[in-house]
Chains A and B, each alone.
Chain A
Amino acid sequence: MAFESNFAWAALLFLGAAHGVNPAMGWLFAVSLGLQEERRSAVWRALGPLALGHAAAILAAVAAAVVLGQVFPLSALKGLVAVLLVGFGVAHLTRHRHPGRGGMRVGPRDLTLWSFLTASAHGAGLMALPFFLSAGEAGGAGNPETTGHAAHHATPMAAGMAPEWITGLLGGAMHTGGYLLMTGLLAVAVYEWMGLSLLRRAWINLDLIWSGALVATGVATLLL
């Protein structure tokens, strides 16, 4: 059974934004660079590389799925993604991971790499895959505008390369757009107006919630 494609696209946008909300995903890093350099422009300068690294993490996961989709049927792929999601969620619950590469004196390349590694370590790409799969599934040939009538007989991963890549790129752009919007909004708002004492009061454990979301998405992918 497939998701409605519009839902899948909206979900990707929302997922990106949900990722961006987490201070661990980049906006706080951007704020700290601005404060360290005492320059507003340092906050803005960080956003591009952060988004680029994030997009790369999503696309890497999608690319892996597309390649695997050439070999395995969609059902097997979904199963694999589901198992990985649950495993990742459980592992994430018990252990903190720092991908490294961080620091306070970083250039655009460092930031891009940091964002790529951080998003990957949090399973951002993996989390997006079920939505890609269903968007592709619903879109049949990969056109997000078509509704789900093609879903039952066209598995996107077997329908040829080009449309999947288009779905992948569009979906990646959607996810990254949501991420960039939220990251930029929060970085600028905190740097300019809200201040860091906010961290003490409002930094709820999104990682805990995220772990739950990973597991839930995994389970849903299996069941739906």
Chain B
Amino acid sequence: MPRMLPDPTFYPSPAMAKEAPREKLAYVTLLTPGQNGRSDALGVVDTDPGSREYGRLVHRLDFPQGGNELHHFGWNACSSHLCGYAPNPHTERRYLIVPGTHSSRIHVVDTKPDPRKPKLIKVIEGEEVAERTGYAFPHTVHCGPDGIYMNALGTPDGDGPGGIFVLDHDTFEVKGAWERDRGPQQLAYDFWWHLGYDTMITSEWGTPNMVKDGVNPNLLLAGEYGHALHIWDLKSRRHLKRLELGEKEQMVLELRPAHNPRRAYGFVGVVLSLEDLSGSIFLWHRKEETGEWEAKKVITIPAEPADPDDLPPALQAFGATPPLITDINLSLDDSTLYVSCWGTGELRQYDVTDPFAPRLTGSVRIGGIVNRTPHSRDPGRPLNGGPQMVEVSRDGQRIYLTNSLYSPWDAQFYPDGIRGWMAKLDATPGGGVTLDPDFFVEIEEGLRPHQVRLQGGDASSDSFCYN
């Protein structure tokens, strides 16, 4: 139903959204690693410190099937609905769009009337997605001013190209593929935009066939995984430029453009460098004078030497743990960047007030391939997995982490089988992060947590048209 006043969770600018009330609930995808007889689910976690159930999984909405490989998800509507050129402010932020990367199914979950007990109201089958768009293996969801944008890793046969498609934000009808001219783009992973510049950015991982059975060492050593960014005109849907990050850079994943629509820059994480197993963050930016887009490496995180006996077979030959930067997140005020090192089990905090010169301001160790660092709540018990999906609250004060990556890859880096957990960090004013000892959600055996979305919005759910 349309509202009479704008949805109260829509904010014209990131600065206004920063003043939003604190989230009381978090939604987290819970997936079965492959088919294990169980169903995938959406978990509801209480994040209200005043509640007796704080830091607990308070509800689990089971999906009809397992093995969907739930990954990223997002809202049907957000602050971009206030944009002046395509306003839609009276739509509710209400539905979570939850794609399964392996099944290509898209689940639509209604978070009202009881946000603690969401309901599954619609499932779009993968065949329909394929028929309407030519794509399969859906991945990222972003609410755009004029529709729900999603992307897909490839085509139904598992090859490229991967690309973007749009869902109607009222009916969830799958519209066609988005691109009018894709230029040289074949690989896909993430996408986001600079609404203030009518510019779309996309990143590169691999085709479904290159990733769904685990990381392929032959392809990796040959540098076949993605190593570029793509710049697109959001209005004409045409490819504008390919930004090469370097052939040794492998797997260009999460895109975090500045939230302020006047700022034409953003950060992207690169999982691995073939030179030295380091991970890195690149900054892309638009040069004011020429309007040209460029990218440069601004953060390098080195691999940590390790005893081969402590390493999984895939890494033994290297005698080192790569940081494996699998997710990053940027606070709404564009001041703080969080970097997940899933391999070494570290979450890093950087001050990126000057995006060209990030400054390391904090670090927390938890899990990790070698370290297995425990949570402060149970200091005697080693944890596996590492900081992976990272989400930041709108006020920038709380950071939520989960520990699984992608089930075929989990098995290669954590062969003992990931035990799922979700943790929370508190940002210290002036820099630094600490684990909240009272917030540690252990996920039951057979399910693994992936992306977290916070009630009302978070630092990667909304985009803005005003500064």
Contacts and interface: CB of A to CB of B under 8 A. Distances in A.
Nearest to A101: B235
B115 interface: no
B465 A200 contact: no
B12 A197 contact: yes
Interface in B191-225: 195-198
Contact of A200 (B6, B88, B170): B6
- What band does the interface of chain B fall in when counting residues whose beta carbon is under 8 Å from A? 35 or more
A52 interface: no
A200 B8 contact: yes
A32 B85 contact: yes
Contacts of A203: 5-6, 89
Interface in A170-210: 196-197, 199-201, 203-205, 207-208
B264 to A, nearest CB: 11
A23 B87 contact: yes
Interface in B1-28: 2-6, 8, 10-13, 16
Contacts of A101: 235
Contact of B89 (A102, A105, A106, A199): A199
B126 to A, nearest CB: 27
Given A23-B87, A200-B12, A208-B4, A35 B235 contact: no
B467 interface: yes
A104 interface: yes
Interface string A91-118: 0000110101111111000000010000
B13 A196 contact: yes
Of the candidates B4, B87, B91, the one having the most CB atoms from chain A within 10 angstroms of its own CB is B87
B332 to A, nearest CB: 16
Nearest to B91: A96
A24 B197 contact: no
Contacts of A205: 2-5, 90
A85 interface: no
A104 B10 contact: no
A114 B234 CA distance: 16
Interface string A20-49: 000110001111110110100000000000
A32 B90 contact: no
A201 B12 CA distance: 12
Given A205-B90, A208-B2, A29 B12 contact: no
A204 B4 contact: yes
Contacts of B169: 96
Nearest to B85: A102
Nearest to A95: B170
Nearest to A23: B87
Contacts of A32: 83-85, 465-466
A197 B15 CA distance: 11
Given A100-B146, A103-B235, A205-B4, A36 B90 contact: no
Contact of A104 (B4, B11, B170, B195): B195
Contact of A199 (B6, B197, B234, B467): B6
A100 B261 CA distance: 20
B82 interface: yes
B58 interface: no
A112 to B, nearest CB: 13
B262 interface: yes
Nearest to A38: B262
Contacts of B91: 96
Contacts of B87: 23-24, 28
B16 A197 contact: yes
B86 interface: yes
Contact of A96 (B83, B170, B197): B170
B85 A200 contact: no
Given A196-B12, A201-B5, A98 B86 contact: yes
A29 B84 contact: yes
A64 to B, nearest CB: 26
Interface string B53-89: 0000000000000000000000000000011111111
B198 A104 contact: yes
B265 to A, nearest CB: 15
Contact of A35 (B2, B10, B466): B466
Interface in A7-31: 23-24, 28-31
B6 A36 contact: no
Contacts of A102: 83, 85-86, 145-146, 235
Interface string B130-153: 000000000000000110000000
24 contacts: A23-B87, A29-B85, A31-B84, A32-B465, A33-B84, A35-B262, A35-B467, A96-B88, A96-B169, A100-B146, A102-B235, A104-B85, A104-B197, A104-B465, A105-B198, A196-B12, A197-B12, A197-B16, A199-B89, A201-B5, A203-B5, A204-B4, A205-B3, A208-B90
Interface of B: 2-6, 8, 10-13, 16, 82-91, 145-146, 169-170, 195-198, 234-235, 261-262, 465-467
Give 5 nearest A-B pairs by CB, closest first: A102-B85, A28-B84, A29-B84, A196-B12, A32-B84
Given A36-B262, A101-B235, A102-B235, 15 more contacts: A23-B84, A28-B87, A32-B83, A100-B146, A102-B86, A104-B85, A104-B197, A196-B466, A199-B82, A199-B89, A200-B8, A200-B12, A204-B4, A205-B2, A208-B4
